[in-house]
Amino acid sequence: MQMMAEAHLIHRALALRHVLVSSFHATDWRQVRVKIANYSLTGEGKHFYGDSVDLPMRWMAPEALDRRQWSEKSDVWAFGVLMWEIWSFGRCPFGVVQSDERVGQMVIDGKRLGRPPGAPAAVYDVMQRCWAHRPMDRPSFHELRAALLELFMAVHTEEVIDR
């Protein structure tokens, strides 16, 4: 996603179902290879205003839900939801809520996903940073990459303490 952001591309549909893992190594992040798929909603530019196509509302940031405005920071929001999906073993975000429109209103009103059981507090903190209400308060993908590499290294040196 950092590469997409650097190319000024906005995915608009980032979710776990669009991440393809081609190689994985539990202790060496350099050997992990993933691809992001489904570019059907991708747009170019700093901000992209969408139309009325079916949208992944459970992964959308407040500004995308409310004003149909996407940017790198709305993709960062979706990345936080993707992290939540990973740590909840593939559960559907806000899965107990039947209506996507209701989920959208909940997010606009400030509701956020809870910490998945087993997710370290430091990982959930990163998710919460992705879900800051104001886009300018969310990290960039460059900042997220650095934070996640730091967490990864801490986990493998047993420095992460769960709160």
Q: Is residue 162 part of a domain?
A: no
Point out the least confidently predicted range of 36-40, 73-77, 129-133: 36-40
Q: How far apart are CA 72 and CA 5, in angstroms?
A: 6
Question: Among residues 32, 42, 56, 34, which one has the least CA distance to residue 9?
Answer: 42
161 falls within a domain: no
57 CB contacts (<8 Å, ≥6 apart)?
Answer: 65, 100, 101, 103, 104
Residue 135 domain-assigned (yes or no)? yes
pLDDT classification of 113: cutoffs 50, 70, 90: very high
pTM of the model: 0.83
The single-letter DSSP state of residue 163 is: -
- Answer yes or no: is 37 within a domain: yes
What is the number of structural domains in the chain?
1
Q: In this predicted model, what pLDDT tens digit does every residue of 10-31 receive, in sequence order?
A: 888 889 988 888 888 777 767 7
Q: Say if 149 falls within a structural domain.
A: yes
128-135 long-range contacts, Cβ below 8 Å, gap at least 24? Answer: 128/80, 129/80, 130/76, 130/77, 130/79, 130/80, 130/81, 130/83, 131/77, 131/80, 133/62, 135/61, 135/63, 135/71, 135/73, 135/74
CATH code at 51?
Answer: 1.10.510.10
Give the model's pLDDT for residue 87.
Answer: 95
Round to the nearest angstrom and report the end-to-end CA distance of the chain: 29
Domain range for 124: 2-156
Q: Which residues pair with 23 in a beta bridge?
A: 33
- Label residue 74 by pLDDT band (50, 70, 90): very high
- The size of the chain, in residues, is 163
pLDDT band at residue 124 using 50, 70 and 90 as cut-offs: very high
Question: Quick check: is 59 in a domain?
Answer: yes
| Residue 53: per-residue pLDDT | 57
Cα angle 27, 24, 71; round to 5: 105
